[in-house]
Amino acid sequence: MSSPQQQKISAPKGTVDFFPAETWKWQAVERIARETARLYHFEEIRTPIFEHSELFHRGVGETTDIVHKETYTFDDRGGRSLTLRPEGTAGVVRAMIESGALNDQGAREKVYYIGPNFRYERPQKGRYTQHHQFGVEAFGVAEPEQDVECILLQLDFYRRCGLKDILLEVNSLGDRESKVKIAEYIRETLGPKRSSLSDESQRRLDQNPIRILDSKDPRDRELTSKLFTSAVPLSAKSDAYLQRVLTLLGTAKLEERGVKWHYSAKLVRGFDYYTETLWEVTTSGLGSQNAIGGGGRYDNLVEMLGGKPTPGVGFGSGLERLLIALEAQGIELPRDATPLVWLAHHGPAARDANLVLARELRDNGIAVDMDLAGRSIKAQFKLADRAAARACLVIGDAELAANNVVMKDLKSSEQTSVPRADVLPHLKQLLAS
């Protein structure tokens, strides 16, 4: 029997370890995310992965599922309540306010982030307790053009990754005035059917009726599916805003780039901070968790969190889901092509010579690896093969005596003997071929 100290420790439920066979794909999508953000002049922001719990309660919304049921909240040793971030927007807004970046007249900030988020959810394919998002937030412009810029950036990101079967759905819950109207409408329509709603939605009917729209309970779904059959009742201003967003999307000719899209009166998202436009993108190969990204406008959030009234809009895109979808669709990501050179040796004197050679090559920007455990030459060649090395340099007693190195091209299997002093130029030539 193993003692408690010897028992294996497993990863927390809902988390995933990514090994080198997969991390290169993460690097590829993160590189594409950064390149796409650059094309639209969004710059990187990095904020802490935990914040004062209050931020999410006020920002995301006390009655949302995300805050109500899914946060990882703990007291630190000083007795302060902290929460692991369940999403990126609230922290970015907090940082923007705290830095004063939004204080100037006409302030305009466009930022992006890539990082982990934490939600206590029942894990399943595409749903984890720790997931990663690429997200952007644009502050200072309350115009439909800014919403559409974010949507186009998001779609360009997917297209550059090679993703197919992309569907964009767009809706609007309008401004404050519209939201009051919608809440009243839901209360009036569902009030008489109160007892048919889930317990939670009965509570929401009093506290925050709009949240009933994203309930997954079949009893609620049955009733909410009949609420907005064609369009959401919006104020005239919000309706004009939405129409402009839809017109701009029309002129962007998304279909020509393989993206299907439509207005969807039934689309809701699980955050209280949204005003006006909201959108979600889905794709194939993911099963029920098929949303790879979503976003929306949040014109009251900066003010709600204590800043100067400043409009904002952005999206978050789940990277785990994107990678699953790419795999399911059979799409190959571009692989970092930096070639590797393997150094092999017969005996300790040759090993020492290779240690010197390794330093010289690395100083010249060439990636090198070699066996450090005294393996046989055959085992060393096997390692080179497994590492998919582009070339192998071999030194033995004969090479040491003649001051030579055997250079093997592992693609063509051609082998040449090169004077030690000429290894670098010969190797560079081979690697460039």
Residues that bind ligand HAM (CB under 6 A): 87-89, 119, 121, 126-128, 131, 133, 135, 137, 291-296, 314-318, 320-321
Q: Which residues contact 328 (CB under 8 A, 6 or more apart)?
A: 284, 285, 286
Question: CA angle at residue 52 from 50 to 55, to 5 degrees?
Answer: 105
Identity of the residue, 88 or 140, whose beta carbon is nearer to ligand HAM in the bound complex = 88
Identity of the residue, 154 or 380, whose beta carbon is nearer to ligand HAM in the bound complex = 154
Q: Distances from the Cα of 195 to the Cαs of 116, 192, 213, in angstroms? A: 40, 8, 16
Identity of the residue, 67 or 333, whose beta carbon is nearer to ligand HAM in the bound complex = 67
Work out how close the CB of 224 gets to ligand HAM at its nearest, in angstroms, rounded to a whole number: 19
Identity of the residue, 61 or 209, whose beta carbon is nearer to ligand HAM in the bound complex = 61
* Number of other residues whose CB lies within 10 A of the CB of residue 89: 25
Identity of the residue, 133 or 238, whose beta carbon is nearer to ligand HAM in the bound complex = 133
Work out how close the CB of 407 gets to ligand HAM at its nearest, in angstroms, rounded to a whole number: 47
Identity of the residue, 70 or 369, whose beta carbon is nearer to ligand HAM in the bound complex = 70
Beta partners for 118? 130
Work out how close the CB of 273 gets to ligand HAM at its nearest, in angstroms, rounded to a whole number: 8
Work out how close the CB of 312 gets to ligand HAM at its nearest, in angstroms, rounded to a whole number: 8
Work out how close the CB of 403 gets to ligand HAM at its nearest, in angstroms, rounded to a whole number: 57
Nearest-angstrom CA–CA distance, 186 and 380: 70
Identity of the residue, 57 or 408, whose beta carbon is nearer to ligand HAM in the bound complex = 57
What is the separation, in whole angstroms, between the first and last Cα of the chain?
57
Using H for helix, E for strand and C for coil, what is the string for 149-172?
HHHHHHHHHHHHHCCCCEEEEEEE
Work out how close the CB of 238 gets to ligand HAM at its nearest, in angstroms, rounded to a whole number: 18
Nearest-angstrom CA–CA distance, 430 and 409: 7
| CA atoms within 13 Å, Cβ hemisphere of 51 | 26
Q: Which residues contact 51 (CB under 8 A, 6 or more apart)?
A: 82, 83, 85, 90, 91, 94
Identity of the residue, 262 or 411, whose beta carbon is nearer to ligand HAM in the bound complex = 262
Identity of the residue, 249 or 292, whose beta carbon is nearer to ligand HAM in the bound complex = 292
Identity of the residue, 137 or 399, whose beta carbon is nearer to ligand HAM in the bound complex = 137
Are 402 and 419 spatial neighbours (Cβ–Cβ below 8 Å)? Answer: no
Give, for 315, the enclosing helix (H) or strand (E): strand 312-318
Work out how close the CB of 100 gets to ligand HAM at its nearest, in angstroms, rounded to a whole number: 21
Are 429 and 390 spatial neighbours (Cβ–Cβ below 8 Å)? Answer: no
Identity of the residue, 88 or 209, whose beta carbon is nearer to ligand HAM in the bound complex = 88
Work out how close the CB of 320 gets to ligand HAM at its nearest, in angstroms, rounded to a whole number: 5
Q: Which residues contact 203 (CB under 8 A, 6 or more apart)?
A: none
- Residue with CB nearest ligand HAM? 318
* Number of other residues whose CB lies within 10 A of the CB of residue 372: 9
Nearest-angstrom CA–CA distance, 330 and 321: 14
Work out how close the CB of 165 gets to ligand HAM at its nearest, in angstroms, rounded to a whole number: 15
Work out how close the CB of 411 gets to ligand HAM at its nearest, in angstroms, rounded to a whole number: 39
Is residue 415 packed enough to be buried (19+ CB in 10 Å), middle (13-18) or exposed (0-12)? exposed
Nearest-angstrom CA–CA distance, 142 and 316: 19
Taking alpha carbons only, the member of 320, 319, 269 closest to residue 295 is 269
Work out how close the CB of 177 gets to ligand HAM at its nearest, in angstroms, rounded to a whole number: 21
